[in-house]
Amino acid sequence: MTFSSLFLLLLTPLYVGLIYMVNKFNTKNPIEFSDLFIGYRQNFVNILIYSLISGVISSIAMAFCFLPFFFVYPFLLIGYPILLFENSSAMEALNKSFAIAKENYGVFLLTGFLGMLISAAGIILCGFGIILTAPFIMIVMYSTYCAFLGKPRQIMYTK
């Protein structure tokens, strides 16, 4: 594992923080900068384990000429919201995400593909747009979670 891979692994709790901020926006709660770091305070180890497992799965899929990644990604789409809102273990999140995606694979495939396409638009069209468009996939994850599992429970976290 290279240094950059380890660094990216340690940044994955920020993905969960972005999903949490989207949830707070959706429920009309005030958003604070510290909300971005909820993944470091809640379920941190399971987020890292899930990220490592999904990273290995994605890397293997990408090694097969990149195309299989698009067919594997839908199974991993709602793992981070499950980790956040259900406070589950990494394997529970992976299994639940896989089971739900298996039943609704076409919807998950199209949703994941469109989310990645919009997120990639910031990179392709204008390099500085990555800051604004890359987090869009987190919104897709949250929306897909809400569509298939309902509105998430309210997370009460005291500082």
**pLDDT tens digit string along 138-149?**
899 999 999 999
Provide the pLDDT for residue 158: 52
Q: Is residue 9's pLDDT more than 70?
A: yes
8 A C-beta contact, residue 15 and residue 39:
yes
Phi, psi values for residue 65, rounded to 5°: 65, 30
Counting residues of the chain whose pLDDT is more than 90, the rounded percentage is 62
Mean pLDDT, residues 9-26 taken together: 91
Which residue from 150, 121, 38, 45 is spatially nearest to 84, judged by alpha carbons? 38
Q: Whole-prediction pTM value?
A: 0.88
Q: What is the pLDDT of residues 109-119, one digit of tens each?
A: 999 999 888 87
**For the chain, what are the domain ranges?**
3-149
The pLDDT mean for the chain works out to 88
Which residue from 89, 78, 91, 94 is spatially nearest to 140, judged by alpha carbons? 78
Provide the pLDDT for residue 116: 85
